[in-house]
Amino acid sequence: MTLIENTAVRHSQATRTMVLWCPDWPVRALAQFEGIPVEERIALVEHGVVFACSASARAEGVRRGQRIREAQAACVDLMAFDYDPALDYRSFEPVALAVEELMPGVQLLRPGMCALAARGPARYYGGERAAAGVLLTALVGLGVEDARITVADGRFAAEQLARMPGETGIRIVEAGGSPQFLADHPIEAVGDSNLSMLLRRLGLTTLGSFAALDFRDVRARFGETGVYAHTLASGRDVRRVVPRLPPQLRDIEVAFEPPLDRVDQITFAFRTAAERFVDELTSALLVCTSIRVELHTDNGLVHDRGWGHPRWFSANDVLDRIRWQVQGRTGAGAGALTSAISRVRVLPEGLDSIGNYETGLWGSTPDDRIHHGLSRVQSLLGHGAVMTAVIAGGRGVVERQVMIPWGDPRGGAGDEHPWPGSIPLPAPSTVFEKPRAVTVQGHDGGPVDVTDRGSLTCVPALFAVSDAGAGVGRVAGAGGMGGGAAHGGGAGGGLAAVERQQPIAAWAGPWPVYERWWDQAVARSFHRFQVVDASGTAWLLALHEHGWWAEARYD
Amino acid sequence: MFEYWGVSEPAVLLADAAPAAPSVRDLQERIRQMQTTKLETRSLQTSPALAPLLPGGALKAGSAYSVEGSNALVMALMAGPSAAGAWCGVVGLPDFGAEAASRSGVDLERLVFVPHPGDQWLTVVSAIIDVVTVVVTVAPPRLGDALAARLAARIRQREATLIVLGGWPQSDATLRITESTWGGIGEGHGHLASRQVTVNAVGKGFMGQKRSARLWLPDASEQVRAVEPAAVPGAVPAAVVAPVRVPRGWGAGRVFADAQELAG
C-alpha cells in the first residue's frame, strides 16, 4: 500500500469483512496427521523456537517464540515436532473448499485463517449473523468445533476481534464501530514491533491514542509505515479481500469395489487413470516432478508417501511408484497393510512448465538414456534396488558410505569435516554388507581378547574366516545397514566358503571404539584391528564381546 | 617373490630371443592387427599403470575382462574411463566399497549400484550394459556358455566394457594379484598405508604369453602407479614378459630394493 493510495482513499470507508479463524491450526493439522489427540501437549518447532503449541501446552506455560529447551522445562511431557508448512496448507484446503462452496471469494490469509467480503453473504443469508451461523455450522460439520467467525469494518478490526479471548464463535462489530472497538487495544496490535516499541516509549500505549494523532503529523514523523499503521489503528483498513483463484484440482483418484489386495490388479486398474493424469497435465502444458500417493485401505487407514522424479512422471512412472509403495507395505512389520486397498489417490506435488523439459533439437542428452535404462531396472526390482553412493561423515567404514536410491535427491553430502579417530586411509575396497565372523587365535591356538584395561591377552597369530555366510549378529550396530536378501552371487569373488587358517603376517590394534555412550540403545563399544594374512590380503576386524568379526577387506 | 619371473614356465617361442624380444613382439602385434577379422575397436582411457597388463595397452570397448579376487584392481581399471566421463555400473556386488572407489578416482556421481539383482541377473546386466560404459559384475554360479556368448555379443554391440570379478569364459585378459606386500603396518604397530602388488595377466589377447607388473595399489598418497624400475639398476621394464634368464644374485638386489621402497 503506497502513500499515494493511502492519502487518496483516506476518507473512504473500510469494507465490511468477515474473517474466519481456526485457532492453533498447525497443531490441529499435525495431530490429525500423526493420529494423536489434539488435547495432548504438543509444540511445533521451527529453527529451535516454538512456532505453535496446543492449548494444554499453553496452559503449562509454553509460549510461541520460546526456545525449545525452555518450553520443555516448562512442560516436561511436551511432544515436540518439526513444523511443516506444506502440511498446514494441505490440511486447510478442505476447509477453504467448504467455505468456497457456501460463499465465493475467499482470501486465504494463512492456513487456519481466511477472509471474505461480508456484504454478499449477508444479503444472501439474510444478515451477517445468519451468514456467520451458516459458516460455523459447516465448519463444525468438518470437525472444527472451536472456529471463530468475526465481522467488522476492515480486515484488521475483524482479525483483532477474532483474537479477543472468549469462547463465543460469532463476533460482530456493527458498521462504524471499528474505531471504538480498536481504541482500547494495545499498540502492539499494529504488528510492526519497532514502531510499536517506539510509540509505547512515546506514551502511546493504545491504538486509540495513536489514532487520535493527526494523520499529517504521523506522516511527517514516521513516514509510510507510520501512515499505514495509523490507518489500521483508526479503523480505516482499506485493504480489500482479494479472492483466491480456486485451484485446479489435478489429483486423481480411483476407488476399487470390491477392494483389491494384489499389486498387479491395483496397477492395472489404475493404468487408464494414470494415463489420464499425465495427459491432462500435458494438455495444460505442465509436467509433474513429484507426486504423493495415498493408499486408502478397507479398514480406514491411509498410507501416504511422496515420490520424487529426477525428470518428470510418465504414466508408467506413476504406476511404478504405486506398485513400489504397495509392495513396500506388504508383509509383516510396522506400517504394513492389514487389509485390502479400497482407494488410490495420486496428488501432484511439484508441477513445472513443460517448456523446461523439452527435448533438445538434437535429441535427448546422454543422461536421459542412462535414466531410462536405470528406471527400467528399478521398475523390475524396486525403487531401492538401484542406488548411487554418497560419502558421508563417520568413523566406521560402513557408516561413511550412504546409498541413495536412483532418482532421489543426492543431497549436498560432502565430508569436509575432519573425523578424528576414523580409520586411516586407504579405504577398504570391500566393505561387507553384513559383517563376517572370523576367528583369531594366538600362537598356542588360544583365543585373543582385550582386557578391560585395553591390552591384548596374547599376540594374534592365526586367522581364519570361519563362515562365508554373513554374520548373524551385528557388530555393534555396524551391520544393520542393508538387510537385503541373501544373494547367491555374493561379493566373494572367488573366496571359498570356509577358508583355511593362515598365519598373520602383520597386525595393528587394538583401536578402541566407544560411541554414543550417552544413549543406551545405540551405544557401542568394541575394538578395531587391522590384520594382514599370509596371502597379503588385509582385513579390518572388530572384536566385540569376545567375538571377532570382519568389517571390511583390503583386497 | 620369484614366481612371476616364470623360470619354471615351459619356454615359449620367444624364450631364446630375449634381447630382440620387443621388436619381435612389435612385429607380431602388427601381424595380428593385419590379420584381425574384426574392425579395430575403440579404446577407453585407461590408467597408465595398468596399460601394460591389458592387450593393446588399454581397455577396449566391447571386451570383457576378468579380475580375480581384488576389488581394488577393479577400481583401478574403472578409474580411467570414469575420469574421462564414462558411467560405471556395479551389479551384484553388495560389498563393493564406495569410498575406496571414490578415492581411487571413480566419480560417484556416475557410478550406479545394483547390489541385489537376485534371479534377474541377466536381465539387469543386459539393461545396464545398454546405458553404461563400464559394467562390473560377478558371474552367477551357473552361467552357461550360450548365455555368456549372448552377453558378449551385447557388449560388442553396445560398445560397453565388462569387468567380471571371478572367472569369465570369454575374457580378453584375466588379471590376478599373485603377491602383495603391505607397508606401514608391523607387529602390533602402525597401520595399513600402502601396498605393492604383483599383477599377472593372462588371456587370449596376449597370444598365449603372460605379462606381469609390479604396482603400488595404492601408494602412500592413494595413487595407483607402477613401481619405478629405476629403483633397481638393470631391471627389465615393468611389462616384463617372458621367461628371461635372470642372473643369479639379481633377485636378491630386487628384494633389497623392495624392502627399501616399502620402508620409505
Per-residue pLDDT of chain B (264 residues; tens, 9 = 90+): 444 444 444 444 444 445 566 787 778 777 766 665 555 677 888 888 888 888 888 888 888 999 998 999 999 999 999 998 899 999 999 999 999 999 988 999 899 999 999 888 988 999 999 899 999 999 888 888 888 888 889 998 888 999 999 888 878 899 999 999 999 998 888 999 999 999 999 888 777 778 888 988 888 888 888 888 755 444 444 443 334 343 343 433 333 344 444 443
What pLDDT was estimated at residue A415? 60
Closest residue in A to B118 (Cα–Cα): A487
B64 part of contact set with chain A, CB < 8 Å? no
User: Omega into A348 within 30° of 0, i.e. cis?
Assistant: no
Q: Are residues B234 and B163 in the same domain?
A: no
Q: How many Cβ pairs within 8 Å bridge chains A and B? A: 202
* Residues A358 and A466 both lie in one domain: no
CATH code where residue B126 lies: 3.40.50.300
Kindly list the distances between the CA atom of residue A537 and the CA atoms of A134, A259, A375, A547, A552, in Å, as whole numbers in the listed order. Answer: 80, 57, 37, 21, 11
**Percent of chain A surpassing pLDDT 70:** 88
Nearest Cα of chain B lies from the Cα of A426 at a distance, in angstroms, of: 6
Partner A contacted by B4 (CB < 8 A): no
One domain, residues B165 and B182: no
> What is the rounded distance in angstroms from the CA atom of residue A204 to the CA atom of residue A196?
9
Closest Cα partner for B106 from B82, B135, B74, B73?
B82
CB B182 within 8 A of CB B216: no
- Whether residue B180 lies within 8 A of chain A, CB to CB, comes out as yes
Helix (H/G/I), strand (E/B), else coil: A205 = coil
Q: Is B185 on the interface with A (CB under 8 A)?
A: yes
Report yes or no: A253 and A345 within 8 Å, Cβ to Cβ: yes
**Chain B residue with the nearest C-alpha to that of A374:** B128
Q: Is some CB atom of chain A closer than 8 A to the CB atom of B34?
A: no
Concatenated DSSP letters of A26-77: HHHHHHHHHT--TTS-EEEEETTEEEEE-HHHHHTT--TT-BHHHHHHHSTT
- Do residues B181 and B169 both lie within one domain? no
Strand partners, A261: none
Residue B20 phi/psi, 5° resolution? -90, 5
Say yes or no: A346 and A459 in one domain. no
Instruction: For residue A179, tell me if it sits in a domain.
Output: no
How distant is the Cα of B35 from the closest Cα of chain A, in angstroms? 35
Count of structural domains within chain A: 4
Give me the pLDDT at residue A489, please. Answer: 37
By Cβ distance, the residue of A430, A506, A554 closest to B95 is A430
CB contact under 8 A, A388 and B68: no
B219 near B227, Cβ under 8 Å?
A: no
Answer yes or no: do A41 and A155 share one domain: yes
CB spacing of B92 vs A374 below 8 angstroms: no
Strand partners, B196: B181, B216
Residue that is written with C-alpha cell 601408494 in the block? B219
Joined together, the cell numbers standing for residue A513 give 571404539
- Is B216 part of the contact surface with chain A (CB cutoff 8 Å)? no
For residue A359, the model assigns a pLDDT of 67
- Which residues of chain B does A490 touch, with a Cβ-Cβ cutoff of 8 Å? 94-95, 138
Question: Given B152, B173, B194, which residue is the final one in a domain?
Answer: B173
Determine the distance in angstroms separating the CA of B93 from the nearest CA of chain A, rounded to an integer: 5
- Is the torsion defined by CA of A82, A86, A89, A94 positive or negative? negative
Q: What number of H helices and E strands is found in chain B? A: 6, 9
Distance from B18 to chain A by nearest Cα, in Å?
Answer: 31
Q: Is B263 on the interface with A (CB under 8 A)?
A: no
Which amino acid is residue B264, in one-letter code? G
Q: Identify whether residues B77 and B116 lie together within a single domain.
A: yes
Handedness of CA A131, A136, A142, A147 (dihedral sign): positive
pLDDT of B11 reads 44
Query: 609390479: which residue's cell?
Result: B214
* Co-location of B48 and B166 in the same domain: yes
Residue B136 lies in a domain: yes
Is the separation of the CB atoms in A531 and B212 below 8 Å? no
Query: Are A264 and A122 found together in one domain?
Result: no
From the CA of B167, how many Å to the nearest CA of chain A? 8
- Name which of B112, B131, B191 is nearest A424 (Cβ-Cβ): B191
Residues in chain A, total: 555
Same domain, B167 and B198: no
Residues of chain A with C-beta less than 8 angstroms from the C-beta of B188: 456, 459, 507-509
Residues A309 and A402 in one domain: no
| SS3 at position A240 | coil
Q: Do A373 and B130 touch (CB under 8 A)?
A: yes
Q: Is residue A401 part of a domain?
A: yes
Residue A517 amino acid letter: W
Quick check: B182 and A429 CB within 8 A? no
CB nearest to A426's CB, from B100, B130, B179? B100
Which residue range is the domain that position A446 belongs to? 423-554
The answer to whether residues B207 and B89 belong to one domain is no
- Shared domain for A400 and A414, answered yes or no, is yes
Among residues B147, B173, B199, which one ends one of the domains? B173
Round to whole Å and give the CA distance between A549 and A538: 14
Is B72 near chain A, with CB under 8 Å? yes
User: Which residue in chain B has the smallest CA separation from A428?
Assistant: B100
Within-domain flag for A210:
no
Of A172, A193, A219, the position where a domain reaches its end is: A172
d(CA B175, CA B165): 10
Low-confidence ranges of chain A (pLDDT < 50): 1-11, 469-497
Q: CB-based contact (8 Å) between B181 and chain A? A: yes
Q: Is residue A110 part of a domain?
A: yes
Does B248 fall in a domain?
Answer: yes
A353 domain residue, yes or no: yes
User: What is the per-residue pLDDT for B112?
Assistant: 93
A372 plus A396 within the same structural domain: no
Q: Distance, in angstroms, between B14 CA and closest chain A CA?
A: 32
Cα–Cα separations (whole angstroms), residue B162 to A32, B24, B148: 53, 31, 11
Question: A74: how many CB neighbours lie within 10 A of its CB?
Answer: 16
Domain end position, chosen among A155, A172, A189: A172
Residue A523 cell numbers, joined: 551405544
Question: At which residue does the C-alpha cell 592413494 appear?
Answer: B222
Q: Is the minimum CB–CB distance between B232 and chain A shorter than 8 Å?
A: no
Task: Report d(CA B228, CA B249) in Å as an integer.
Answer: 20
Of B94, B166, B188, the CB nearest to A482: B94
Q: List the single best residue of B67, B131, B134, B168 to mutate versus A (max A Cβ within 10 A).
A: B131
Range of the domain at B206: 176-263
The reply to whether A360 and A481 lie within a common domain is no
CA distance A36 to chain B (A): 39
Helical residues (DSSP H) of A353-408, grouped into ranges: 366-381, 397-400
In a domain, B18, yes or no: no
User: Would you call A429 and B222 a contact, using CB atoms and an 8 Å cutoff?
Assistant: no
